[in-house]
Structure 1
Amino acid sequence: MTQAGFKALLVQTLFAPRRAAEGLIALNLPQRWLWTALALMSVLNSIVYSVSLRLTPTSDPMATAMMPPAFHSPVLFTMFLFGALAITVLALYWIGKGLGGQGRMDDVLVLICWLQVLRLILQVVVAVLVIVAPVLGALVIFTASLWGIYILIGFVDAAHRFGNMFKAAGVIVLAMVAMVVGLSILLSIIGVAVMGGA
């Protein structure tokens, strides 16, 4: 993909997410490439997260102590993030199929991979803003969170060929419930592993 193509896809994702999703799905990338890309994005996002955590440490020691073990170690956080993304892909795929969706696993996977690319860019921007303009950084995070929901709804709608944004939103809500359960189990496993290795 050229730089111009990347920028065009980025703009389309922000303002016409369904069309952007259809373009990504049309690439028909092999599933093994997509899982590898998801793992790579997990590593890169974890690196940026760890660096930003060290550049802007919290002023509340209690808040740091209450963080799950996975959030203290770059390696554990990478494992946690990849596990969370895998659960997200599976939940969006199976719940969408259960509600009459026609998407393939690859369709959901390529869209989640692209969202992680956007997340990486956002994390870098926010890491800089938090240092030079904390209020602006907080505003960007809030705006990106709301816009991210809009993008995800469009992506899920395109992946499952619903043609119905409300049904896509329903899939996301149900997937979030499944993710809470899955992430709780994942954090418990990581916590046990950390305690066992201590």
Structure 2
Amino acid sequence: MTQADFKALLVQTLIAPRSAAHALIALNLPRQWLWMALALMSVLNSIVYSVTLRLNPTNDPMATAMMPPAFHSPVLFTMFLFTALALTVLTLYWIGKSLGGKARLDDVLVLICWLQVLRLILQLVVAVLMIAAPALGALLIFIASLWGIFILIGFVDAAHRFDNFFKAAGV
């Protein structure tokens, strides 16, 4: 995948998630690669998250105390994130199948891996914004969260071949 292909897929994901999902699924990547990619994305996201916490610590000691211990340790956070992502893949696969979906496990896995690539890019942008313009960073997080749900629903719809946005949202 060239840099131009990467950018095109990124834009396509943002404006036409179902089409992007079809393109990602068509890559037909080996399952072992996809699980390794999910593990890599867990590590990279954890590193960025940990660095962000160090660069921009909260001023409220209560907020820090309320964070689970896994959020303070990069290694624990990586394990927590990988487990959560693996459970997400399996849950989206099995619930979709139970509703008549036709996805393969690899289809869901490649889409969640790609979402984690997007999440990493977003985390890097937000890390810079939180230092330069915290309000803008918070707004970007809010908008990206809503848009991310839309993308995820489009991905689930494409993977399971529902052709029904509401059924995909149910998954």
TM-score normalised by L of structure 2:
0.99
Tell me, in whole angstroms, the C-alpha distance in 2 between the residues paired with 1:166 and 1:115.
20
Residue 12 of structure 2 corresponds to which residue in structure 1? 12
Tell me, in whole angstroms, the C-alpha distance in 1 between the residues paired with 2:86 and 2:105.
11
Residue 120 of structure 1 corresponds to which residue in structure 2? 120
Tell me, in whole angstroms, the C-alpha distance in 1 between the residues paired with 2:63 and 2:140.
23
| Cα deviation digits, residues 95-146 of structure 1 (max 9, x gap) | 0000000000000000000000000000000000000001110110011011
Tell me, in whole angstroms, the C-alpha distance in 1 between the residues paired with 2:76 and 2:100.
36
**SS across alignment from 2:135:** helix
Residue 47 of structure 1 corresponds to which residue in structure 2? 47
Residue 93 of structure 1 corresponds to which residue in structure 2? 93
**Alpha-carbon shift at residue 62 of structure 1 (Å):** 1.1
**Alpha-carbon shift at residue 40 of structure 1 (Å):** 0.3
Residue 61 of structure 1 corresponds to which residue in structure 2? 61
Tell me, in whole angstroms, the C-alpha distance in 2 between the residues paired with 1:94 and 1:137.
35
Residue 177 of structure 1 corresponds to which residue in structure 2? none
Tell me, in whole angstroms, the C-alpha distance in 1 between the residues paired with 2:7 and 2:71.
32
Tell me, in whole angstroms, the C-alpha distance in 1 between the residues paired with 2:13 and 2:41.
18
Tell me, in whole angstroms, the C-alpha distance in 2 between the residues paired with 1:87 and 1:68.
19
Tell me, in whole angstroms, the C-alpha distance in 2 between the residues paired with 1:61 and 1:86.
32
Matching residue's letter, 1:54: R
| Cα deviation digits, residues 129-178 of structure 1 (max 9, x gap) | 0000011101100110110011001000000000000000000xxxxxxx
Tell me, in whole angstroms, the C-alpha distance in 2 between the residues paired with 1:64 and 1:72.
9
Quick check: 1:152 aligned with 2:157? Answer: no
**SS across alignment from 2:28:** coil
**SS across alignment from 1:154:** helix
Q: Which runs of 4+ in 1 moved over 6 A?
A: none
Unpaired stretches in structure 2, ≥5 consecutive residues: none
